[in-house]
Amino acid sequence: MPQRILIVDDDAGVRETVGAVLRDEGFRVVFAADGPEAIASARKDKPDLVLLDVWLPGMDGIQVLEQLRAEHSHLPVVVISGHGNIETAVRATKLGAVDFIEKPFTIDGLLAAVARAFKRVRGGEEIGDDDAEAGEAVSDDAGEGTAPHRPRRTSGPRVRERTVARSVVGAGLGLHSGVRTGIILHPLPPGSGIRFGSVSGGGEVEADVANVDSTGYATTLFKKGLAVRTVEHLMATLHAYGITNLLVKVEGEVPILDGSAVELCDLVEQAGVEEQRGTIAAICVREELRIDAGPDQFLSIKPYDGLRITYELSYPAPVGDQTYVFEMREAGDFKREIAPARTFGFVEEIRALESAGLGQGGQLGNFILIGEQGIVNTELRFPEELARHKILDILGDFYLLGAPVRGDIHARKTGHSHNVALVRKIREYLTTAVR
């Protein structure tokens, strides 16, 4: 039987247009023009999915969502808004909406949201042993299956795939845009990988080193017109918690929050970590790989049974030298030792950023500002906070390999561009090793 979708919108033109698209895709479609009609249709027609507009006459979409979730707890609902903002997304997601998209949306964006909703239901409720084996197969092949961003082969141990247990929403300022933005984390089934998408549903970009567009002051992903900036703190958090399958919805930039990853850890813990049946091979190397970026400046990875990162930071006075060694054993280690370390910058760098139209979200409370006489706006959380933050960036950038990393990483006086260069070298090494 074709799956049935209930479209709830007070605009007859929208109902007919969306309905025609979905019929062409083989779905059965039913309509409702307001809240009471939608609730009645859900009882009578028993749809498999609801596309629900927020702005409805009388009973608004949020009220309809509350009623639908009360009566049909397992019915997936995608909320659509023509006046979307992060507050609406927060309310919808907390009430159990499986996705949130903004008007005007593209046909591809709508169909992608529908496909995600059905895939999520299948992945969360109907996975059997055969599906688990299929999840393992796609985890090993780049350019095949549903995870093209993952390397072909690694020699590392297999680990369980993980996602979040439920959708959650956070909000804050974008570091470079300066506008209020948000972040929505949605669970995905095994083999999906980590993907970034816009709230409006206009495409996705995989969290993969092949999609890195820029490393100036932050790591930016870009694919088919969709750019997502400042992904490294979130990627580091997902690396620490072992999240391998996730849809991250943002509007252009991951919020900077307090400049660290502590609130991102809290967001993941609020969502809960769900272990899945599929497995994925960890990233391992069998020999040292190294980038010599300049005199007394390098980044390397060696074989190691675990994950250890050493960062040596060296700046002229008043900063001086800092060194920190971090051993990742569990997510709690990351949350205690690395996640609280904040973004830092020098006064002259901030001026350069502002002249380039960047850094508009930088405030005295969300980064460490360093002047000629030292730190001017805060007290350090750790004596080596700057070096620890560099380790945070390494954890995030290295997770663009698509799987947890095992190795002994040693960095001296390096940044995002060097991280990405070595990650690309590791990807090439892993791919070449199986030719």
**CA-based diameter of the chain, in Å?**
73
Torsion angle of C-alpha atoms 101, 104, 106, 109, degrees rounded to 10: 0
Task: Name the catalytic one among 176, 186, 410, 416.
Answer: 416
Per-residue burial over 39-61, b if 16 or more Cβ lie within 10 Å, else e, is bebbeeeebbbbbbbbebeebeb
- Pairing state of beta strands 246-250 and 194-198? parallel
* DSSP codes joined into one string, 136-186: HHHHT-TTSTT-TTS-S---SPEEEEEEESS-EEEEEEBTTT-SEEEEEEE
Residue 111 CB contacts under 8 Å (≥ 6 apart), including other chains: 21, 25
The three-point CA angle 345-347-349 to 5° equals 65
Residue 367 CB contacts under 8 Å (≥ 6 apart), including other chains: 175, 256, 259, 342, 343, 344, 345
Q: What DSSP element (H or E) covers 344?
A: strand 344-346
Tell me which amino acid residue 1 is. Answer: M
Task: Clarify whether 176 is annotated catalytic.
Answer: no
Catalytic annotation, residues: 416
